Chain A
Amino acid sequence: MFMGYFPSVQDKNWGGQRGAGVPLPKDSGQKLSSPSCLPDPILNSLRLPQAWLDTQDRHLGHYVNGKWLKPEHRNSVPCQDPITGERLAICLQAQAEDVVAAVEAAGTAFENWSGLPGASRAQHLLRLAKMIQKHQRLLWTLESLVTGRAVREVRDGDVPLAQQLLQYHAVQAYTQEEVLAGWEPMGVIGLILSPTFSFLEMMWRICPALAVGCTVVVLVPPASPTPLLLAQLAGELGSFPGILNVISGPASLGPVLASQPGVQKVTFCGAIEEGRALRRTLAGKGAELGLALGAESLLMLTEAADVDSAVEGVVDAAWSDRSAGGLRLLIQESVWDETMRRLQERMARLRGGRGLDGAVDMGARGAAAHDLAQRYVREARSQGAQVFQAGAVPSDSPFFPPTLVSDLPPASPCTQAEVPWPVVVASPFRTAKEALAVANGTPRGASASVWSERLGQALELGYGLRVGTVWINAHGLRNAEVPTGGCKESGSSWSGGPDGLYEYLRPSGTPARLSYFSENLNYGTFGLAVPSTLPAGPEIGPSPATPYGLLIGGHFQAPGARSSRPIQDAQGNLHGYVAEGGAKDIRGAVEAAHQAAPGWVGQSPGARATLLWALATALERREAALTSRLERHGTELKDAKVEVELSARQLRAWGARAQAQGHVLQVAGLKGPVLRLREPLGVLAIVCPDEWPLLAFVSLLAAALAHGNTVVLVPSGACPIPALELCQDMAALLPAGLVNVVTGDRDHLTRCLALHQDVQALWYFGSAQGSQFVEWASAGNLKPVWVNRGCPWAWDQEAKGAGRELGLRAARTKALWLPMGD
């Protein structure tokens, strides 16, 4: 394609006159279905994967329980060479009963596998790593042949990383009993891969799952032999056949896999819209859902950058077959011309061709990716963009050239849409501050790189970007020890590093997840209307007047609806009225929380701890009032005292933990550190449980604040008054807007919060129906949600309560790569 590398030498000097004495390897006898015009080095590489396909009679099924599974009467799809269209093999499509068989196999294997000591699992993973090492050539040629990606990238990037992943996770398995005490494996894990993701994405997820003791069923798209080969290699180790099962089938099987009883978690890697649909489908189902969505990346090139190196960064990001997605490129105006010139010059030297050719930068990715890119470019052009492609490619070619799009009007639909492979969309910015605003102004947040030789600027941009991974002066580095994930619509599932392990663990003693799906729940009307409330008789009792109003933006205010709801005590008498909050109040509360966010994020953990401790002191001062309120709601005096005491302790404990956040990773092959940062989620909405009205409220609040979030809370519905009592201290002590408390009809408020696009995470502790609704509604902005599925928790116990999980859930990880050298 783009430029011939050395054909002319051959043509002019060799072609006609080579006869005498030059031995030429001939394709002796071996029947190859590929066109005979390919150069010998490529033909040689083709033989190995073809021979492997021949062992299966070019007829691939599924690999379940250590055996090939080739059921009769199934549809099949051809597996094609993406360049020639030649049929390499036939792949059977799974049906529901195959999925059932795979989940059963995994379930049986889980009994053994999870019971093993970590050291034995570590041994097994290392054996698999060795197995991959022994057959790496088959692995890389097969992957390159089938996907069309450049063999260099698979050989030098993916395969070594796959081995490294196994080795790293073997070590994690070995130390599991010690380091991860108090956690247990979830069970059978379902992994759903979409076609654009390579086998490496599967490795990123099965390695931690297997390491901690889970077993896996992977649903791969039709015609992807490499995961099947990996499963076969794992199966041929002999012991523990059912721990890794691979079935290939259409995307429509995803929900089938996810709703199998016994599947405890489903991880999905694919397109954003598919993930959204899956989130909605799986609301209320048994399996937890982890999403890793989209493949777009971002590169920010400042005027202080080494421009030539940054241009190589663009090549790494979009035009090297490393990434599955396109790139959004932000260039500082002062270096715009220079950068564009260098980019175009570099593009002219990129070379496309057959993936198995060792001198190729980019292969082809099949018809679907080609059409996606074509459509995007056509639309961008029609919306007024400039499109630069090096070299013309005939319209019927399977290759798509590297493409640089610029001058896209800021408001055009293409600017908002995800950029597909291999397109780079360049846009200018004036200042670093503006760059940050533009970069954070998309709904996606997977990865980004910052190019600047000024340390201060690079760090500020790196910390400011709302994405999962930031590379400073590099792009696309990955390592098993560094967690990789995203935020916003890129999903909040993590792989690699410690975060990857917790994806497949749950606190010991947690009951297995069962489906609590309710057919009757109407998403359209759940919590839509607020039942009207009337005055409910005389307020009786010795207690002082109840605090009244909604805490929004630092002070108590009357609800928008200007009405109240009565709260009854344990005897059924009226305890007092609380404000009836509604949609307008939620809007105001979220706005106030957003305004307070930058200030609170900027506080040092020490300052946060000080405030939490001050709040604990204030709480203790109110002990008498709080105890009597709790008592009136039916709590024993002794228990009420314990609850108040524990609440103060929670505030202090989280204050102290706030100081120990994040750590530095040392990565092989990289000089310089990788920082694992724990960043706040942003505006966090919390719907508190009815049980433990004070303790649950305070525990959730303390963890959220300690990690730098600003919060909108809906307190216990039955007993909101202790929480409101504490609000009086919060109004006085905390910065305005940091904590906002809205009382009212819980279903209605939950609906408003779950559907709010600018609420960045939601924790819901309430009814099963409410949980299901929250899961369904979170698909809107794909906010991470945490629901109790209608089960009450023992908040006074560290293990049964939310203790361990709370710390994980209250912040998101960000990996900041800082390569060094001069």
Chain B
Amino acid sequence: MSARNRGTELDQVGGATEEGVDLPSSLHPTGMHTSGFGCFPMEPEALNLSWISKMQVNQPAVLRRAQQIQARRTVKKEWQAAWLLKAVTFIDLTTLSGDDTSSNIQRLCYKAKYPIREDLLKTLNMHDKGLTTAAVCVYPARVCDAVRALKAAGCTIPVASVATGFPAGQTHLKTRLEEIRLAVEDGATEIDVVINRTLVLTGQWEALYDEIRQFRKACGEAHLKTILATGELGSLTNVYKASMIAMMAGSDFIKTSTGKETVNATFPVAIVMLRAIRDFFWKTGNKVGFKPAGGIRSAKDSLAWLSLVKEELGDEWLTPDLFRIGASTLLSDIERQIYHHVTGRYAAYHDLPMS
């Protein structure tokens, strides 16, 4: 009742356009998971330093905006459930631990295929929509395990691999490039590279551009997600500039952090990166994706991230092609919220399968 009527009410009120999170099309498996993306990898742009030279980001103003965003879009009840399911489709389900072995990788891949308990989805009538996470993300040495596990599970969820001396990036360029090539050879179709923070902090933007272009080349057909490690860049202005350089050099995604820095994905940083993405789109017509990672643990957080992207960039960016959330524990909290929505009860830990 209320769902339909809400739409009507808004229509009466002011001619609402029928836009929103468009679940069915983006959830549909066709075409989406074959290469991981609907489009070919990004072509690099020529380096244009005038795009970054004048930019100054005002940190206190961005902090205020970040605070507002979390309070301005409160979604409840069935709207919340729909948004949470939508959030599941953006997750790069991740494990990046020293003790990863093939067995927990296998469990992770199974969870990526079946992110929410089947009976819960059935109640919501979403069980036949092919709901999976967007990708699984592992260390280069575990790519083979992941590819094998996903194949065994019979699905085409892409495997993403971190690379280039993750997480510090403090190894020789030659080995960093080789790392990318090996991961691609093993079957990773998305490469999450870390940038060289030294180059940012010392203002060597040309050098940074050149490095990322070489990463781009080493990726070949695979998609390049560039991790800016924003917690180590010193200022929001540097975050903007590094984002712009990474996009000019041909990144398909820009990503906030490795999850290994002390400060990870925060809203102020995200706002600056999203604004850079929009500026880049306005200048070149190319849409670059955005991936916050690190520290996103609660279902409520994920909703704030979705509305942030919607507010700053619009609905076009709310697809797995252009938006990902890097997380390991987020999925279980979302599942708990869905459980509560469906049953009206809070779940015990053993009610939901572990990942």
Chain A residues near B (Cβ < 8 Å):
1-15, 17-18, 20-24, 37-41, 83, 152, 156, 304-306, 308-310, 312-313, 341, 349, 352-354, 358-359, 361, 391-394, 397, 399, 401, 451, 453, 473-474, 671-672, 819-822
Contact = CB atoms under 8 A, between A and B. Distances in A.
Given A10-B82, A12-B23, A352 B58 contact: no
Given A10-B7, A14-B78, A393 B14 contact: yes
Given A37-B9, A38-B2, A672 B15 contact: no
- Among A2, A8, A21, A41, the one with the most B-chain Cβ atoms within 10 Å of its Cβ is A8
Given A7-B6, A10-B82, A397-B14, A21 B123 contact: yes
Contact of B78 (A18, A83, A156, A361): A18
B204 interface: no
A766 B24 CA distance: 81
Interface stretch (B62-70, B178-186, B247-255): B62-70
B333 interface: no
B73 interface: yes
Contacts of B124: 22
Nearest to A303: B54
* A interface, over-half SS: loop
Given A39-B2, A306-B58, A2 B123 contact: no
A393 B22 contact: no
- Among A1, A393, A822, the one with the most B-chain Cβ atoms within 10 Å of its Cβ is A822
A734 to B, nearest CB: 43
A132 to B, nearest CB: 19
Given A473-B58, A473-B60, A5 B73 contact: yes
A37 B8 CA distance: 9
A15 B4 contact: yes
Contacts of B341: 22
Given A8-B19, A156-B71, 6 more contacts: A8-B18, A23-B344, A39-B6, A312-B64, A352-B13, A394-B14
A761 to B, nearest CB: 35
Contacts of A41: 76-77
Contacts of B2: 24, 37-40
B352 interface: no
Which 7 pairs from chain A and chain B are nearest by CB? A1-B14, A358-B74, A10-B3, A7-B7, A4-B16, A309-B61, A453-B56
A15 B20 CA distance: 15
Interface of B: 1-10, 13-24, 56-65, 71-79, 82-83, 86, 123-126, 235-237, 275, 282, 311, 314, 341-342, 344
- Among A341, A672, A819, the one with the most B-chain Cβ atoms within 10 Å of its Cβ is A819
Contacts of A306: 56-58, 61-62
A397 B13 contact: yes
11 contacts: A4-B16, A7-B10, A13-B82, A40-B2, A309-B62, A312-B64, A359-B74, A397-B14, A401-B14, A453-B56, A819-B61
A4 B19 contact: yes
A349 B56 contact: no
B9 A38 contact: yes
A8 B65 contact: no
B60 A672 contact: yes
Nearest to A672: B60
Contacts of B83: 6, 9
Contact of A9 (B82, B125, B237): B82
B14 A22 contact: no
B16 A3 contact: yes
A352 B14 contact: yes
B5 A20 contact: no
B311 A473 contact: no
A359 B124 CA distance: 24
Nearest to B65: A312
Contacts of A17: 125
Nearest to B311: A349
A6 B71 contact: no
B213 to A, nearest CB: 27
Contacts of A397: 13-14
Given A41-B76, A453-B58, A1 B9 contact: no
Contact of B82 (A6, A40, A304): A6
Contacts of A22: 78, 123-124, 341-342
A313 B311 CA distance: 15
A671 B60 contact: yes
Given A10-B3, A11-B7, A309-B57, A358 B76 contact: yes
A527 B123 CA distance: 87
B13 A1 contact: yes
Contacts of A14: 3, 78, 82
A6 B58 contact: no
A221 B63 CA distance: 37
A27 to B, nearest CB: 10
A6 B20 contact: yes
- Among B13, B123, B282, the one with the most A-chain Cβ atoms within 10 Å of its Cβ is B13
A37 to B, nearest CB: 4
B276 to A, nearest CB: 10
Given A9-B82, A12-B24, A4 B18 contact: yes
Contact of A11 (B3, B15, B282): B3
B15 A391 contact: yes
